[in-house]
Amino acid sequence: MADAFVIETADLRKTYDGIEALRGLTLSVPAGSICGFLGRTGAGKTTTVKILLGMARPTAGRATVFGLPVDSPAASVDIRRRTGFVGDDKGLYDAMTVRGMIRHTASFYPQWSRELEEKYLRRFELGAERGIKTLSRGMRTKLALLLALCRGADLLVLDEPTTGLDPAATEDVLQALVGHAAERGTTVFFSSHQLADVEQIADHVTIIDRGRVAVTGGLDDLRQNYRRIQLVFDGDAPSYTFQTRGVERVKRSGRVMTVLSSAGIDGVLGEARQLNPVSTDSAPVTLKDIFLDTVAVED
């Protein structure tokens, strides 16, 4: 039976020179999902990606990809054989041509698809004889994506794949990604600052903050369950700690108390009645609202 989760980490920790980049990260990425991995700069996204691909070792905790431990060098080679990676800087060898880069990468993957290679070379309008050095950032991203897609990978790991791209290039890259994942059932795990990109293609979201998971779940579930509830009082909003499950954040400002709930509104409203608010209101939230309320609010 196939594993339910392609990526799993438990209490994953990473310390660089006394600085904790990851502080007990526990996440699961379902097989076949497109998982957006969100967080502020320095939240630990790139460190997580590096650990998953064996580029950095965890200080403590456990991480597996395809059920294989990432900190075993031999298992890490197997993981990378089944994984396509597009790094933040779209790392390629500047001394090579596009075709040379493709041939070089293809030599490591027996399942390399020449058919897909031709398809994406045409679709992305990548001149095969062009030098890597002469490619724009958008073209480099497309080439990096081609190299990741053609290798027959079961998992694509992308670190900020659309950073620095214009809207047309972003759309092209996202559509290629979604189409490929849908056709082949590939799991996609991509870190991003671009909430719109995540909302557009992800079906699963994990938001991390300061090296820990702040929010995780299916995007539809998050949209359905997350609600912002506003309570207005006669005087200043009281200082109060909710006992109801799913209360993620409480903010007070003058007469208004705003509660972010991840478990609908009924429980919160029931408990809030004892505070005698003069009015209550609730509204669904966007991914951006969830992100800002769970992460940026702590600044």
Partner 1 sequence: MIWQHAFLETRWRFLIGLVLLPVSAAFVALSYPQVTALSQSVTPAPDTALGREIAEAMELSKTYGGYVWSQWFQQNGAQLAGLFAAIIGTGGLLSQTAAARLFTLSLPVSRERLLAARAAAGLGQMLALTVVPALVIVLVSPLVGRSFPLLDALAYALCAFVGSAVFFSVAFFFSSMFGSVWAPIVLTLCTGAALGALDRITGAGRFSLIQMVHGESYFRGHGLPWPMLAVSLAVSAALLYSGTRLVARQDF
Give the residues lining the site for partner 1 (CB under 8 A): 16, 50, 53-57, 73-74, 76-78, 80-81, 83, 85, 87-96, 103-105, 107-109, 144
DSSP H stretches of helix in 54-113: 73-81, 98-106
Closest separation between CB of residue 96 and partner 1, Å?
8
Of 235, 238, 232, 172, give the one whose Cα is nearest residue 201.
172
Of 273, 94, 296, 104, give the one whose Cα is nearest residue 195.
296
Distance CA(168)–CA(86), nearest Å, equals: 19
268-273 long-range contacts (CB < 8 A, ≥24 apart) are 268/227, 268/229, 268/242, 268/244, 269/229, 270/244, 271/242, 271/243, 271/244, 272/229, 272/231, 272/242
Cβ closest to partner 1, residue 77 vs residue 278:
77
Closest separation between CB of residue 113 and partner 1, Å?
16
Cβ closest to partner 1, residue 191 vs residue 294:
191
Cβ closest to partner 1, residue 112 vs residue 233:
112
Under 8 Å between Cβ of 35 and 202 = yes
Closest separation between CB of residue 34 and partner 1, Å?
20
Under 8 Å between Cβ of 29 and 5 = yes
Closest separation between CB of residue 104 and partner 1, Å?
5
Closest separation between CB of residue 89 and partner 1, Å?
3
Q: Residue 178 has which token pair? A: 């979604």
Distance CA(178)–CA(149), nearest Å, equals: 11
Closest separation between CB of residue 173 and partner 1, Å?
17
Q: How far apart are the first and last CA of the chain?
A: 44
Dump strand ranges (E) for 56-172.
60-65, 68-69, 83-86, 155-159
Q: Phi and psi (nearest 5°) for 161?
A: -65, -25
Of 234, 208, 193, give the one whose Cα is nearest residue 21.
208
Closest separation between CB of residue 106 and partner 1, Å?
9
Closest separation between CB of residue 87 and partner 1, Å?
5
Q: Which residue, chain included where needed, has tokens 């950073």?
A: 163
